[in-house]
Structure 1
Amino acid sequence: MTRVVAGTAGGRTLVVPSSGTRPTSERVREALFSRLEHLDAVEDARVLDLFAGSGALGFEAVSRGARSAVLVDSARVAVDACRRNARSLGLADRVDVVADRVDRYLARLAPADAPEPAGAFDLVLLDPPYDLADDVLQVAVDGVARCVAPGAVVVVERSTRASAPTWPAPLDAIDDRRYGETRVWFAERPV
């Protein structure tokens, strides 16, 4: 059973897609959001949750005070779960669920030839399937760099066996943490 850990929806259960997703454990989510709150990255943030799965990370952010969240996943079962969770948590007015491939969504949001980053998001959470190829994740990270606001924080969660992401400009690495078999990398766009 996956639940929202804290905030206005704390303790509420989330619907998890039956296959193809690996929800972030409550222990890792608690540690991750403790770090994000220390960075002052959650309150009133515009959040982008990529490879959303159940939407646990995006819903956790909104429950803890983020202004809004966009949850993106290409799997129909994940999109349906995110929409059900948004309704059951009473957060549908602050959460937009997008059925699309992450690379395609980011290319539309902030084209590679754009002269300036779009500045659409303050917090971006990438929690791809553990078996996602490094080059596919890197395309997503490169796209994210074009859509973050000054001061934004970007988080990538993967297996400890996976390679660290390469942070493109304007993102700078600020931290990485290990929680059992999970590694979390943090970057920010300087103000």
Structure 2
Amino acid sequence: MRIISGTYKRRKIVAPRNLPVRPTTDMAKESLFNILNNLYYFEDISVLDLFAGTGNISYEFASRGTENITCVDQNFGCIKFINKTADEFEMPIQTIKSDVFKFLEKATVTSDVVFADPPYDFSNEQFSTIVELVFKNQLLNEEGVLIIEHSKHTDLSDLNHFSYSKSYGGCVFSFFELTES
């Protein structure tokens, strides 16, 4: 995997093979950040990266100037790798080793972007729970967005707060926003 833009543009990051991850492809990541680049000034936002895995998405935010990034993953190897990489590149990334659902139930942190990349084989109920907890616990700042990465075989358009989705190969990003009542 590589960092696409910003301070660390073109830097390759090689994750250990034994991590239980499926990193977002460079093509999909570049497309996602083209969308986000039109919505936010990266240096002015905060990011919560759920199911962070290798930290791929967080490194991209950090490279583009985001200084408030929190990664959550339950795998100790993933957290250790993110901490090591963040230290090497002097990136402002905080990590929390936790089951994402337990974290979301108790979280009080608010962010402009909440990015979730759960396993592609999650059930619609599990995807729905992520959305419900983020909005019920008010984890998004005003004008914030929840983005869930999922397989093209999963349709999240019927979930509350769904706004739109973008498809890139086998990967889909579904966007959820606070709607006016």
Q: TM-score, normalised by structure 2?
A: 0.89
State the alpha-carbon separation in 1 of the partners of residues 22 and 144 from structure 2: 26
CA 1:67 to 1:167, structure 2 compared with 1: closer, same or farther past 3 Å?
farther
State the alpha-carbon separation in 2 of the partners of residues 15 and 167 from structure 1: 35
Partner of 1:33: 33
Correspondence for 1:137 among 93, 102, 127: 127
2:156–2:162 Cα contact (<8 Å) kept: no
Alignment of 1:87-126 (within 5 A): 87-91=87-91, 94-110=92-108, 120-126=110-116
Partner of 2:4: 5
State the alpha-carbon separation in 2 of the partners of residues 129 and 41 from structure 1: 29
Deviation, 1:95, is: 0.8
1:149–1:189 Cα contact (<8 Å) kept: no
Correspondence for 1:177 among 151, 166, 175: 166
CA offsets 1:66-120 (integer angstroms, 9 cap, x no match): 23100000011111111111112211xx21011000011111114xxxxxxx6x1
Deviation, 1:167, is: 4.3
State the alpha-carbon separation in 2 of the partners of residues 180 and 135 from structure 1: 24
Aligned length: 177
Alignment of 1:46-125 (within 5 A): 46-91=46-91, 94-110=92-108, 120-125=110-115
Deviation, 1:190, is: 5.5
Report the residue type matching 2:4 in the other structure: V
1:10–1:63 Cα contact (<8 Å) kept: yes
Partner of 1:159: 151
Deviation, 1:154, is: 1.3
CA 1:134 to 1:41, structure 2 compared with 1: closer, same or farther past 3 Å?
farther
Query: Quick one: percent identity of the two aligned structures?
Result: 28
Taking only aligned residues, the RMSD between alpha carbons, in angstroms, comes to 1.9
Deviation, 1:141, is: 1.8
State the alpha-carbon separation in 1 of the partners of residues 64 and 164 from structure 2: 21
Give every structure 1 segment of 4 or more consecutive aligned residues whose post-TM-superposition deviation is greater than 4 Å: none
Q: TM-score, normalised by structure 1?
A: 0.85
Q: Secondary structure at the match of 1:13?
A: coil
